[in-house]
Structure 1
């Protein structure tokens, strides 16, 4: 880390020298320091935050995501350097150091602080305006996301990705924004069936049209993507549990019981298509009363029905701003898998949703915090769930002190029959199903819902959270989060309960424990 940081500072010094000499470019620097201290327990988690649904051998004491302990201390630094030639031209590079887990050598936090792989480029892009127009263009590695006036965090697409974004006002009420991004390309190593880098790109094209009227804001949007048959391939597995990205991206279908079948190993089409469309809006005409709503739809077509995926999500929010805070109520619903494993998945696909935004409805159950605090107990998005909740936002009775409280009741929208496939009690047409959990750590429950729990319509949870922010100085604030999630999974034989395996042995049920965490962050931003 020392060598990399020295190189980084040397490069910045050379750039500053060049700028000072030419007097043609203004050099600006921004940054954020984040120090996080956290204690949490429960939930029975394994790596990447995914639940094991009772897999005791894989359980790590405490949270367990990325091998975390009950108590963790972490830090992260982000430095942004802007080279501004004019209002029409600038370049930005955004470095990230960390997150560093204190004491862990692989994260640069052990004695001597000589760990590697902790300094990276988060963003690197060029901003320019097309001459004689109002068209703004951003090219390079950047954050690209879709709008959502309810959750404030897209349930379909929010990612750091390489691409081009162009935007322009049409008139006082309408503007357009279009983008092309390339999440994956040239990563396939090749084999005897297809050469290296063949049919392994993933491209997404998007368009949004924000409309601003008197007291009403509405943004319709659409995205079209395509990925090759080798894009997510790993060995002989083209699109299943062991693929390199489909599960993580929320594009994988219901292959839970088909992972070893022929249909689970190949795609019918050279390129699969992905389509999303949505609309989100808010009514602020009756300020301080505000109403917001969102609707998203997404579908993946591979040419093989069992590998397809389609679904939708909607949300509604109503809130009223008072002098001391903003109380509100909200709800969401997202489609879930039906009981037919052969027709693909009915959960809405997504691409790295909630990556850099904060889900205003859930700080612990989903990716709801941009700090280093733990989250994603239920999942990275609301896919396959429903919920209702209430919150009081930005409560302030004292100077420099604000608090937000929220309570959610939620459940799954997936068919309870899917639990039989996931826990290994049922297969399909002789194909190998998931390995039953025998306490040896061999169960394959994780791929059912990457980054979280797979909840059926007979499973429920309650989430309680409070976030407190104290502004110590103008540039330094302390953020304290406390969260608790109570889980009620159906332990009947037809859902997550025990069953008799094909060899006549008795396999125990699958359950999770309640989870909680408390974390304190010190955030210095300049």
Structure 2
């Protein structure tokens, strides 16, 4: 009996030790946002009905990340998201009675350091962004399934490289190939980043290459199959390539898609209190459909941090636009970027919903602006004032070409696209009050003075009214960060 007790005790100790050895510390971080927004004339068209006029909604989005730490060399992360949900919207997670299936997996990945090296490896669904300047990256900045390796080369130079599968329609009996079960479409992205940092200055050049099989062209480039992979999933890499020319000039699905990008992000603090942030990228996409897409983007922001109560910042951004030829596209091809200036026209201004124009996907503009940031006269209360002028770099004939093509599919949309005859002024004020260290209240005000050329838009019939009118928004909300 004693032997049995001793053996049982030893077994319990072994099992307990094994359990302790495999245990992980679990921590949670999160961002929970609830915002109410009042808006007026979101489409900048005085002739539209009340659906586009004064509106009020309350939105919420709850993101929670669980970090599982086995050691300093091995971690895992799982981020869940509820929303974005409009209060009362059926099935979205914030309607009457609740009980909706609204929890989404935003990221789930494992990170580990290879034994006896400084090489860090990450695999899974993760947030992945190509190097960003002050305003984000227009090509790729989203959650994607990927494998990434990161390692130092010298004290000042590192390297990051990886492969991501941006889209897969499976089939060949992984099943799900959409309406056409003979097609197995995929889009892969490989990339390399070389961060170089010295005292007070940093530059991060990068290169990315995206490629697909022929089935991807058949499913994405053909407007008839837009529901399988569309612009919402693929940005402007391929979704609008098919519509830059009349459909009868395009041979869909005969070739694979190839695209590449080269760019850099730059940061300088060596002349403190002045700071400079800049970025540039050029990209080209070949859809094998008798025309290509290529374009570029550049921006720079200069801030002065020498004042106690305010930080002034001057910025300029430029993205190439379409010319008057209905063949090749001159806008930057994108995959799933996150790039915007200001607080309203291009951007959500900190709300849980995107800006109404989704301008990250409507490239072809230049913008010049001034921000007065970190204004503070009372403890816990800060303000940001912004003014921005933006105008289009797309030739006005883009509207006529789009109107002549029944499958233009949003290439040119009134209230979204800016031609070289259109411009806007944006004025914004954002106020933040720190209720607790983890809880912040925000009040935002924004006004858009729109100047769309009525002859360009109404004359081509892309909108019933095209009678431009200013737009406005007020938002109030809270964010709990932990």
TM-score (norm 1): 0.80
- How do 1:118-157 residues align onto structure 2 when only pairs under 5 Å count? 118-151=102-135, 153-157=136-140
Q: Is the CA contact 1:499–1:508 (under 8 Å) kept in the aligned structure 2? A: no
Q: Is the 8 A contact 2:210 2:258 kept in 1?
A: yes
Unaligned runs of 5+ in 1: 1-16, 46-52, 64-69, 428-432, 435-443, 502-506
Q: 1:386 aligns with which of 363, 366, 369?
A: 366
Partner of 1:288: 273
Q: Is the 8 A contact 2:27 2:68 kept in 1?
A: yes
Does 1:184 find its partner at 2:167?
Answer: yes
User: Which one of 345, 352, 355 corresponds to residue 375 of structure 1?
Assistant: 355
Shift of 1:61: 3.4
Task: Please name the residue that 1:8 is paired with.
Answer: none
Q: What is the SS of the residue equivalent to 1:447?
A: coil
Query: Residue 257 and residue 283 in structure 1: after superposition, are their counterparts in 2 closer, same or farther (change >3 A)?
Result: closer
List per-residue Cα deviations over 1:413-433 (Å, max 9, x = no partner): 0111111123x3xx4xxxxx2
Cα deviation, residue 240, structure 1? 7.2
Query: What is the CA distance between 1:333 and its match in structure 2?
Result: 1.2
Partners of 2:148 and 2:163 within 8 A in 1: yes
The answer (yes or no) to whether the contact 1:378–1:452 under 8 Å persists in 2 is no
Q: 2:321 aligns with which of 323, 327, 336?
A: 336
Give 1:137 deviation, angstroms.
1.0
Cα distance in 2, alignment partners of residues 366 and 218 from structure 1: 26
> Retained in 2: the 8 A contact 1:290–1:319?
yes
Is residue 496 of structure 1 aligned with residue 457 of structure 2? yes
Decide whether the 8 Å contact of 2:316 with 2:368 is kept in 1.
Answer: yes
The one of 303, 310, 313 equivalent to 2:294 is: 310
Q: Distance in 1 between matches of 2:33 and 2:204?
A: 33
Distance 1:475 1:508, change over 3 A: closer
Match of 2:257 among 251, 268, 272: 272
Counterparts of 2:377 and 2:346 in 1: how far apart (Å)?
29
Q: Offset at 1:32?
A: 2.3
Q: Aligned equivalents of 2:264 and 2:352: distance in 1?
A: 31
Structure 2 unmatched runs, 5+:
1-15
- Deviation, structure 1 residue 79: 1.8
Alpha carbons of 1:445 and 1:365: their partners in 2 closer, same or farther (altered >3 Å)?
A: farther
Equivalent residue number for residue 104 of structure 1 = 89
Question: Is the Cα–Cα contact under 8 Å of residues 389 and 406 in structure 1 kept in the other structure?
Answer: yes
1:485: Cα distance to partner?
1.5
Q: Secondary structure at the match of 1:350?
A: coil
TM alignment of 1:189-228, pairs within 5 A:
195-198=181-184, 200-228=185-213
Q: Give the 3-state SS of the residue equivalent to 1:339 in structure 2.
A: coil
**Offset of 1:239 from its aligned partner?**
5.4
Alignment of 1:336-355 (within 5 A): 336-342=321-327, 344-354=328-338
The Cα offsets for residues 490-525 of structure 1, whole Å up to 9 and x where unpaired, read as 122xx2233699xxxxx9663443222111121111
Answer yes or no: is the 8 Å Cα contact 1:38–1:519 preserved in 2: yes
1:465 aligned residue (411, 425, 428): 428
Structure 1 contact 367–381 (Cα < 8 Å) conserved: no
Cα deviations by residue, 1:153-200 (Å, 9 ceiling, x for unpaired): 1121101110111111111111111121111112575599x75452x1
1:93 to 50, 56, 78: 78
Matched residue, 1:513: 469
Instruction: Tell which deviates more after alignment, 33-42 or 202-211.
Output: 33-42
Q: Given the superposition, is the C-alpha separation of residues 163 and 257 from structure 1 closer, same or farther in structure 2, using an over 3 Å criterion? A: closer
CA contact (8 A) 1:377 1:451 kept: no
Matched, 1:523 2:479: yes
Q: Alpha-carbon deviations, 1:292-320, whole Å to 9, x = none?
A: 221111110122233x2100011122111
Residue matched to 1:261: 248
Map of 1:165 onto structure 2: 148
Per the alignment, residue 33 of structure 1 pairs with 32
Matched, 1:250 2:230: no
In structure 1, C-alpha distance between the alignment counterparts of 2:382 and 2:297, rounded to whole Å: 31
| Count of aligned positions | 459
Q: How far is the alpha carbon of 1:374 from its aligned partner?
A: 4.7
1:453 pairs with one of 416, 419, 422: 416
